[in-house]
Amino acid sequence: MTVSHRARNAETFHALDFAQRAADLEAQGHHVVKLSIGEPDFGAPPAVLAAGRDALDGRPLPYTPPLGLPELRSALSDFYRDRHGVQVPAERIAITMGASAALLLATAATTDPGDEVILADPSYPCNRELVQSFGGTVVALPTTAATRYQLDADMVERAWGDRTTSVMIASPSNPTGTSIPFDELAAICELARSRGGWRIVDEIYLELSDASPAHTVLEVDPDAIVTGSFSKYFGMTGWRLGWAVLPPQLVGPVERLAMNYFLSASNPTQQAALACFTPETLEVCERRRRELGARRRLVLEGLARIGLPVPVVPDGAFYVYIDVSGTGLGAWQFCEQALDVAHVALTPGRDFGPTTGETHVRLSYAASRGELNEGLSRLGHFLASRRG
């Protein structure tokens, strides 16, 4: 019996490993400040919880259609229209088990063995595994603070080759919380389109941008593949529900893959998610977005105070990407010691690519201000004790 190459070569997602190590420490009675995982501490808004409970009242809960409950697809279509002013027919929206499954389906539907997919280093690690799992070759372009750790059109143009079929973008980005300037995003998409390439744009943090409403790529590239999620803005990480906006020619292919791979997303969770789009729930979510902005300021001030530089100030999501190279520790070591000594869980840059892998760590500020202050204080003492 031989384990497949893709499984043998798959990288662990260290963010989850560090979270597990944090949980193990807590099980031993320690209080760990957990800033490693990209999960808001808010949870789902009250109306979503209530709708979820209502869905479990004994009514039938069969498989939904493979692309989701029609009423949820419609609600998302209305949301794109009302918030972003773009027309996205419900028929082009696929409801999926998290943005994870949306990215899996998008990759599976667009990547043949040998195809090259351009993406940024650093970026969300699972994208690389998905591309490779379906036989594609990842072309990870090193980025720097000069472009906010994002691709720009010049880079993409230089890297575009005969076998390139897609560019994958996330804006705002995980791990950096930085967005691509909108005209630059438009230029990248225009370039990829002109070369006959897919644009896979992950907008799961879009509604957690400083700009509100933020600009979706669909304003300038209606045929981009866009992934979204109920996890972040709506606080439903553990529920596993997301979506993809598909260009017309991908709807049928993705539907066929979705029915074979998954049958459908969860029926009760989809029913609960219908409560996301009321004015009341959106007001709850907007309050949370503003709270995350306040937490970011708190974290940036605190990190400056203890001497940990953040080379690029984020403009969305809930991450800061810290350069720890001045501490004399590699990023991995830094995360290990921060956890073991200071009981603060962070994520090493290695998850996100080699360019910043040994110099940067990701801090998720989706924790309460109290926890953030405690975490900053512990990191401060940890650094002081190293210097002292």
Nearer to its own copies, 129 or 323 (CB): 129
Residue in 85, 89, 135, 307 binding its own copies, rule: CB under 8 A: 135
Q: How many residues sit close enough to its own copies to count as binding (CB under 8 A)?
A: 81
From 180, 129, 131, 125, select the one nearest 156 (Cα to Cα): 180
Q: Are 221 and 84 in contact (CB under 8 A)?
A: no
Report the nearest approach of its own copies to the CB of residue 202 (Å). 14
From 118, 126, 181, select the one nearest 148 (Cα to Cα): 181
Residue in 72, 75, 88, 101 binding its own copies, rule: CB under 8 A: 101
Q: Are 200 and 221 in contact (CB under 8 A)?
A: no
108 forms part of the interface with its own copies (CB under 8 A): yes
Distance CA 216, CA 85 (A): 10
Report the nearest approach of its own copies to the CB of residue 268 (Å). 6
Residue in 13, 79, 182, 332 binding its own copies, rule: CB under 8 A: 13
28 forms part of the interface with its own copies (CB under 8 A): no
240 forms part of the interface with its own copies (CB under 8 A): yes
254 forms part of the interface with its own copies (CB under 8 A): yes
Distance CA 187, CA 10 (A): 32
330 forms part of the interface with its own copies (CB under 8 A): no
Residue in 75, 120, 126, 342 binding its own copies, rule: CB under 8 A: 126
Nearer to its own copies, 10 or 341 (CB): 10
- Other beta carbons less than 10 A from residue 348's beta carbon: 25
Report the nearest approach of its own copies to the CB of residue 375 (Å). 17
Q: Are 169 and 120 in contact (CB under 8 A)?
A: yes
Beta bridge partners of 361: 322, 348
Q: Which CA distances in Å does 80 have to 93, 96, 138, 175, 202? A: 11, 17, 31, 25, 15
Report the nearest approach of its own copies to the CB of residue 25 (Å). 15
- Span from 133-141, 150-158, 277-285, 296-304 in contact with its own copies (CB under 8 A): 133-141
Site for its own copies in 50-79 (CB under 8 A): 52-53, 56-66
112 forms part of the interface with its own copies (CB under 8 A): yes
Nearer to its own copies, 209 or 237 (CB): 237
Distance CA 47, CA 240 (A): 17
- Span from 35-43, 81-89, 274-282, 299-307 in contact with its own copies (CB under 8 A): 35-43
Q: Are 19 and 342 in contact (CB under 8 A)?
A: no
251 forms part of the interface with its own copies (CB under 8 A): no
Residues 272-311, mask of contacts with its own copies (x by CB under 8 A)? x---------------------------------------
Report the nearest approach of its own copies to the CB of residue 387 (Å). 35
125 forms part of the interface with its own copies (CB under 8 A): yes
Q: Which residues of 246-266 are buried (b: 16+ CB within 10 A; e: fewer)?
A: beeebbeebbebbeeeeebbb
DSSP single-letter state for residue 218: G
Report the nearest approach of its own copies to the CB of residue 254 (Å). 7
Q: What DSSP element (H or E) covers 374? A: helix 369-387
Size of the chain, expressed as the number of residues it contains: 388
90 forms part of the interface with its own copies (CB under 8 A): no
Site for its own copies in 170-199 (CB under 8 A): 196-198
The side-by-side arrangement of strands in the sheet containing 319-323 is 319-323, 360-364, 347-348
Q: Which CA distances in Å does 87 have to 6, 92, 209, 282? A: 38, 10, 21, 20
Residue in 79, 182, 261, 332 binding its own copies, rule: CB under 8 A: 261
Could you identify the residue written with the tokens 């949820």? 72
Residue in 230, 239, 334, 352 binding its own copies, rule: CB under 8 A: 239
Provide CB contacts within 8 A for 277, sequence distance 6+: 75, 76, 78, 79
Report the nearest approach of its own copies to the CB of residue 195 (Å). 10
- Span from 4-12, 203-211, 324-332, 370-378 in contact with its own copies (CB under 8 A): 4-12
Classified as helix, coil or strand, 240 is coil
Beta bridge partners of 154: none
Residues 344-383, mask of contacts with its own copies (x by CB under 8 A)? ----------------------------------------
